[in-house]
Amino acid sequence: MSLVIFISLLLFVSIPYSLSRVSGPLNPIHKSFLDCLSTQSPQPDPSFPSIVYSFAINASTYTKTLEDHLRNRRYNLTSTPKPVIIVTPKTESHVQATVLCAKKLGLQIKIRSGGHDYEAVSYVSTEKNFMILDMFNLRKVEIYIPTETALVQAGAQLGELYYRIWEKSKVHAYPSGVCPTIGVGGHISGAGYSNMLRKYGLSIDNVIDAQIVDVNGKLLDRKAMGEDLFWAIHGGGGSSFGVIISYTIKLVLVPKVTTVFQVEKGTEPNVMDVIMKWQEVSPKIDNDLFIRLLLSPATVNKKTTVKVKFMAFFLGDSNRLLELMSKTFPELGLKKEDCLEVSWLESVLYWAGHDVNKTKPEILLDRQIPTNYFKRKSDYVQTPILKQGWTAIFNKLIELGGTVGMNFNPYGGKMSEIAANATPMPHRAGNLYKIQYSMNWMDPKVTEENLKNGRVMYEFMTPYVSKNPRGAYSNYRDFDIGVNSGDGFNSGKVYGEKYFKGNFERLVKVKTVVDPDNFFRNEQSIPTSSKKR
């Protein structure tokens, strides 16, 4: 099935998810895979039948496993291609044997650590024979406060990591995503960022080791894999190069008291002046402060308008924050009563949308979240947008009927100090902020309209964002910017340079060395230098 047809089906089919298109009742692949696992295991392992699922053999477990980590309902339709088998490894040796057997049986591997990937590249494929390697059983988290490090397996979610850090220390943290149910493997391998990026950089800037199973089934740490592959898998996407088992990360220090706030602005006359000042100061203000700007569609008196919100995290108490804001950003009008002093872990709950006074930290161990239909896109802004530009943006959001929201995340600070080629993620110095475009909906009948409006807004923003190439954030997967059409390097370069700029060529070189036959592949993976699929 071509990708164009595949995406078209996703846009127009809106009936509930079904498993009717899985391989026939005998599912010979299931038996062949189990037989192969036994031959590839260094010793007899009676647990193999309990980690391999297919609809024909153990339908209820297959269905539950498949759907437990489905996040985007656009990829949960009757027409959605489904894996012939799902493997849920419990040990590193299970992963090693799975890789070897997938190669032998000609199955494409989709590696899922959490399922938050925006285009479902970890659990849907345009290829006929694919399987899911679901890493949720490999979620060990070990915290070492004396060395200020932690080992976290790929199947753990960020909330689990944060909770385990909090158990051991109230003054340590890890700079990573604000959504607790994101899987560690995909998040870190794709760069990872948090509301501490201006202080501590990206998640990958705080990684010191890793374990990966390569295409030959070998388990490698940083020393064994070499610096080129280690460089590639922290920021270049791990699933292009192998199966990430774990990362060893550096913990960072946080004060016992941090401060959060949200300030909303209506349609008052000076709202554009406040935004202009935010644009000026947010990338160069104190590195302890991160202020996100959100433009959200809203309806007032039956008319579409734009709600303006400033959401912040500060590594310090409210007195110091208020003093800082009065000197650098008085236009926001921040007051003492706007500020909430919390621990770092409570700030995680706050940013995840929880009431910190009523929510117990244990909620971070909950791996389930509601799902909806959504689409995301991204951009980088390198030149300040003029006031008339902001007015035009507001007008366009209103014209689109409240279907598109925009989040603006400031850079500067530590992000401007790290070289663009230090990791595969190149979008560092020179960027004022990153934009995420958000389209969310619950009615599948409006899918086509919402996707169209997202593309319209993205096209409208062309004059205001980075160019040659127009940058994009690789963890915000977006098929609109290009997919691998089967010709390898040529189509891969289209999206690859947007995600990785000049680092794309080095990623291709690493890929060609460690996986020359392009076994680890997906719709936006790093290609080899040849024209193989």
Name residue 407's amino acid. Answer: N
Which of 86, 119, 91, 344 lies closest to 211 in space, CA to CA? 91
Residue 65 to residues 114, 197, 267, 518, Cα–Cα distance (Å): 12, 34, 46, 27
The DSSP 8-state label assigned to residue 203 in this structure reads G
Name residue 180's amino acid. Answer: P
Residue 55 to residues 19, 110, 136, 336, 416, Cα–Cα distance (Å): 7, 17, 19, 57, 50
Q: Are strands 149-153 and 141-144 parallel, antiparallel or unpaired?
A: antiparallel
3-state secondary structure at position 225: helix
Tokens 């309902």 found at: 73
Asked if residue 529 lies in contact with residue 504, where contact means CB atoms within 8 angstroms, the answer is no
Quote the CA–CA distance of 222 and 38 in Å, as a whole number: 29
Quote the CA–CA distance of 292 and 280 in Å, as a whole number: 13
Which of 122, 140, 79, 129 lies closest to 105 in space, CA to CA? 129
Residue 216 to residues 40, 99, 100, 225, Cα–Cα distance (Å): 12, 8, 7, 12
* Catalytic residue, candidates 174, 350, 458, 476: 476
3-state secondary structure at position 489: helix
Q: Establish whether 476 is a catalytic residue.
A: yes
Tokens 């929880």 found at: 354
Encode burial over 285-315: b for 16+ CB neighbours within 10 A, e otherwise.
Answer: bbbbbbbbbbbbbbeeeeeebbbbebbbbbb
Residue 26 to residues 33, 37, 104, 401, Cα–Cα distance (Å): 13, 19, 20, 50
Residue 201 to residues 157, 174, 176, 291, 327, Cα–Cα distance (Å): 20, 11, 9, 15, 25
Give the CA-trace dihedral at 163, 167, 171, 176, to 10 degrees.
-20
Supply the residues annotated as catalytic.
476
